[in-house]
Homo-oligomer: A and B are copies of this chain.
Amino acid sequence: MKDQLRCQSCGLTPLCLPVGMSEAETEKLDSIVHRNTPFHKGDHLFRQGDKFKGIYVITSGSVKSYYINKHGEECIVGFYLPGELIGLDAIHNRVYSCSVAVLETTSACEVPFSQLQNLTSEIPSLQHQLMCLLSKEVHNDCEMVAILASHSAEERLASFLLSLSSRYKSRSLSALEFNLSMSRTEIASFLGLAVETVSRTFSRFQEQGLLEVNRKQVKLLDIEALADLGGQYPHELNSGIPLNG
């Protein structure tokens, strides 16, 4: 295992499980983590119905979580960026309820749950942090519910972009300029809109000078105006508006 691939030297530590843990404790956690070779676009971390093995943490790249509805359509439930935990919803019934596929070349840590659970009894701050991350996930999901219940396409897309923005920001990346790793179709599925509506809304935002968009490349020009359209849910003051972390 290479040096940069250890919890102790990982830049995502402040967002991840080791928060509040001593070096020795972090070492213990590190020893149970599996680090697979990078996944490529289209690869799956796991599939809907698979037996729950553990939690995944994205370290680079991004993934989508989706299920197939009875019409055979792919319904996207969330996107995950580096530092975000995947599979938390499978703890209680020991089965992954969604499939998770990779959107671009992506690395992830796999944390076997039974071993993680053993560690939590030894390491109180690990237990605490795991609970905090679960709680945060609940918070983010509630926010997403609020976004989707707000009707207009503009509101939804604006909230989506602001969410990405703040999530990039909390990872020390640019909050104003970033690449969308997901297609228009995937954004549409996630936001409950038609592809054409997403595309048109992007164009309208650009005409209004709210942003510049060129395929995957997005540059937010007027965060204020976007925030006026979207994000009304009471989110945390400092960590922005993650929406499905």
Interface residues of A (CB under 8 A from B): 48-49, 65, 67, 69-70, 75-78, 88-93, 95, 97-98, 117, 120-121, 124, 127-128, 130-139, 141-142, 144-146, 148-151, 189-192, 232-236, 239, 244
Q: List 25 A-B contacts (CB under 8 A).
A: A48-B234, A49-B234, A75-B150, A75-B232, A77-B149, A78-B142, A78-B145, A88-B134, A88-B135, A89-B135, A89-B136, A89-B142, A91-B132, A91-B134, A92-B131, A92-B135, A93-B239, A97-B234, A117-B128, A121-B127, A134-B138, A145-B145, A148-B148, A148-B149, A149-B190
| New A-B pairs, 12, CB < 8 Å, besides A70-B232, A77-B149, A97-B235 | A49-B234, A90-B135, A92-B132, A92-B133, A93-B136, A97-B142, A117-B128, A120-B127, A134-B138, A141-B141, A145-B244, A149-B191
| Chain B residues positioned under 8 Å from A146 (CB to CB) | 67, 75, 77
Are A88's CB and B127's CB within 8 A? no
| Chain B residues positioned under 8 Å from A144 (CB to CB) | 141, 145
Min Cβ gap A71→B in Å is 8
Please state the number of chain copies in the assembly: 2
Are B234's CB and A189's CB within 8 A? no
| Chain B residues positioned under 8 Å from A244 (CB to CB) | 145
The answer, among B97, B145, B233, for a CB contact under 8 Å with A139, is: B97
Min Cβ gap A193→B in Å is 8
Measured between alpha carbons, how far is A21 from B97 in the docked complex, in Å?
27
By Cβ-Cβ distance, the 7 closest A-B pairs, closest first, are A141-B141, A149-B192, A91-B135, A148-B148, A89-B139, A134-B134, A92-B135
| Chain B residues positioned under 8 Å from A134 (CB to CB) | 88, 91, 131, 134-135, 138
